Amino acid sequence: MTTANNAPTPRIYTAALAIIGNEILSGRTQDANLAHLAKTLNSWGVELREARVVPDIEGEIVDAVNALRARYDYVFTTGGIGPTHDDITADSIAKAFGVPLVEHSDALAILEAHYPPGELTVVRRRMARVPEGGELIENPISKAPGFKVGNVFVLAGIPAIMRAQLEGARQFIEGGRSVLSKTVSVEVGESRIADLLETAEKRHAGIDMGSYPFFRRGSFGTALVLRGRDPAVLEAAYADLCAALTAAGIEIHPGEFQD
């Protein structure tokens, strides 16, 4: 694909996240991985486009993973790769790809080196199971590896381990241009600046403008966030929006509004 001046259109890489676990859906556990994944991927030039929370039900996991991997460049899953009977993510990923779930020799060697003699139980050996053809993702914290099959990256749900494994997955990720952002805050409600914001966005192709209300100092305000991949275009759009707000008699506060 090319632009009007025949310059190649920059490739946009996309990703999705499937958060797996009944404990998330029940409210017992709050997800702490989504924000970190989104920010990290953006720094690598990959845009997180979708996130789903999926129960510990094999069919639901299979359906979600197959739908997401067909639509996005990369899919990440978190949760369900521990040693207990309800950790069924590895089984589900194997079924999604139509391959056997096998004991990975390298994964087993990692666990054998980690546990003292006699402590690598049958239950713990479950963490060496990987869909056939999968590649391991290092886990420097608790050693049990994550894995990659095709464009699907299977990571732990524990935040510290997930973050370490995500860094290990970096070698497999190809990205494009990161999404940049700039923020201006105003002490008026969204309805006051809705038309102004829409008009400004229409003048700047490639820039997404969103409004996010807040409540401080006993009154409403709105943070206006501009996002785009071209720094020059982003700066021009930001300057134009600030000028339009000022012309409308609205006081602006560059960045997030501070009390």
- Given a cut of 50, is residue 177 above it in pLDDT? yes
In the predicted structure, residue 195 carries a pLDDT above the cut 90? yes
Average pLDDT over residues 157-165: 97
pLDDT cut 90: percent of the chain above it: 89
- Of the pLDDT bands very low, low, confident and very high (cuts 50, 70, 90), residue 218 is confident
Banded model confidence at residue 247, pLDDT cuts 50, 70, 90? very high
Distance CA 15, CA 37 (A): 10
Cα angle 219-223-224, degrees, rounded to a multiple of 5? 140
pLDDT, position 159: 97
Distance CA 259, CA 217 (A): 7
Provide the pLDDT confidence category of residue 258 given band limits of 50, 70 and 90.
low
Q: What pLDDT is attached to residue 256?
A: 77
Query: What is the band of 255 on the pLDDT scale with cuts at 50, 70, 90?
Result: confident
Q: Does domain 180-254 have CATH number 3.30.70.260?
A: yes
pLDDT of residue 259: 52
Q: In the chain, which residues fall in CATH 3.30.70.260? A: 180-254
* Phi, psi angles (nearest 5°) of residue 144: -60, 120
Q: Provide the token pair at 214.
A: 């807040």
User: What does the pLDDT read at residue 2?
Assistant: 44
53 pLDDT above the threshold of 50 = yes
Q: Rounded to whole angstroms, how far apart are CA atoms 141 and 130? A: 19
Compute the average pLDDT of residues 66-72: 98
> Is domain 13-172 given the CATH code 3.40.980.10 in the classification?
yes
Of 5-14, 88-97, 129-138, 247-256, which range is least confident?
5-14
Work out whether strand 101-103 and strand 129-131 pair parallel, antiparallel, or are unpaired. antiparallel
| Every domain range in the chain assigned CATH 3.40.980.10 | 13-172
Q: Is the pLDDT of residue 4 over 50?
A: no
Q: Is pLDDT above 50 for 217?
A: yes
Give the pLDDT confidence of 223-240 residue by residue, as tens digits: 999 999 999 999 999 999
Compute the chain's Rg from CA coordinates.
23
Residue length of the chain: 259
| pLDDT of 34 above 80 | yes
* DSSP notation for 2-23: B-TTSPBPPP-EEEEEEEE-HH
